[in-house]
Amino acid sequence: MLDLSTSYLGLKLKNPLVPSSSPLSKHLDTALRLEDAGAAALVMHSLFEEQLHAEAKMADRFLLNSGIGHGEAEGFLPDHGGDKSMLDHYLEHLAKLKSRLSIPVIASLNGVSLSGWVDLGRELQQAGADALELNVYHVAADANFSGESVEARYVSLLSELHGGVNLPIAMKLSPFFSSLPHLIKQLERAGARGVSLFNRFYQPDIDLDSLRMVDCLHLSTPDEALLRIRWIAILHGRTRLTLAASGGVHSHEEAMKLLLAGADVVHLASCLLLHGPGRLGQILADMEKWMSEREYTSVAQLKGSMSQKNLPDPDAVERASYIRVLDSYGPARGVRS
């Protein structure tokens, strides 16, 4: 009998497959189907700070203060007071997921500012979240802002949140840090229980007809798993934080590679959006098959077995590997170059 169990953020999970923050959690039915397919936990769709702010602005301008000073109309849309905010809906949905799912539910906060997180975190805790994922969407575009201060921002956010809630917190990071292990060490000190590598930003695109910037988010491709494999391999065994690999997992192959590199859990989103929740069961079955064929008995056994620490040639995941990969793009031997 294979033991697929793992642990992430202190949560005991029956296997390492965890749907990541995506619209999949928005519908209870889909969430239940994910659980049925074998998901070990669920990261909820993100509560976006910008959306909360935009909602507040919208309410302020068009509901609470829409009067224009005309005697016939004091406002133009009904404000029936009882309208719930996006946060209320999120909390309600979290509570609903918790009441119907038996797997852990991880709430996700996505934002950039330095204030307001603790209150939100407390409310999510109260609504039953098992853990929090903090996704700081910060593009360091200010030339007066050093790399150090960017990192300090992350650390201070985390430590503020950590001080306010009892839940384990994972920090979802972008790959754009000059020294990821150093940052992760700081996060560990500030109270994080895990990191999720890496988030995939919305990227601005240019509409050639209107010459306007438009937001764009494409689904991931398996190639993207490579970046995660490298960093998970480097980090495994060098931090006490649990590691989640996020981005590019479309089949058991990427999942196995990430586990071998040292991931504690593997997040899935694009493949589930493309093929439906049942895909998770398929990947799980394929993983089991792969492990059985190779006579692995547990995930614990293989986890990190190919991390940088455990490799015969540790440089392979750093620069040497880079050169090799480049070589692999050289022409075949028989081709005249």
**Are 267 and 261 spatial neighbours (Cβ–Cβ below 8 Å)?**
no
Tell me the closest approach of the beta carbon of residue 77 to another protein, in angstroms. Answer: 6
d(CA 205, CA 144): 26
- Helix, strand, coil % (nearest 5) of the chain? 45, 20, 40
Tell me the closest approach of the beta carbon of residue 186 to another protein, in angstroms. Answer: 28
Which of 53, 240, 289, 324 is the binder for another protein (CB under 8 A)? 53
Nearer to another protein, 160 or 254 (CB): 160
Nearer to another protein, 115 or 221 (CB): 115
Q: Report how far apart, in Å, the C-alpha atoms of 71 and of each of 64, 76, 79 are.
A: 17, 13, 18
Which of 12, 36, 50, 67 is the binder for another protein (CB under 8 A)? 67
DSSP state of 73: B
**Interacting positions 198-227 with another protein (CB under 8 A):** 211
Q: Answer yes or no whether residue 55 interacts with another protein by CB under 8 A.
A: yes
Q: Answer yes or no whether residue 164 interacts with another protein by CB under 8 A.
A: no
Q: Report how far apart, in Å, the C-alpha atoms of 90 and of each of 53, 84, 95, 121, 225 are.
A: 15, 10, 9, 12, 30
Nearer to another protein, 119 or 313 (CB): 119
Which of 10, 12, 100, 119 is the binder for another protein (CB under 8 A)? 119
Which of 86, 112, 311, 316 is the binder for another protein (CB under 8 A)? 86
Can you give the length of the chain in residues? 337
Stretch of residues binding another protein (CB under 8 A), selected from 57-65, 256-264, 279-287, 295-303: 57-65
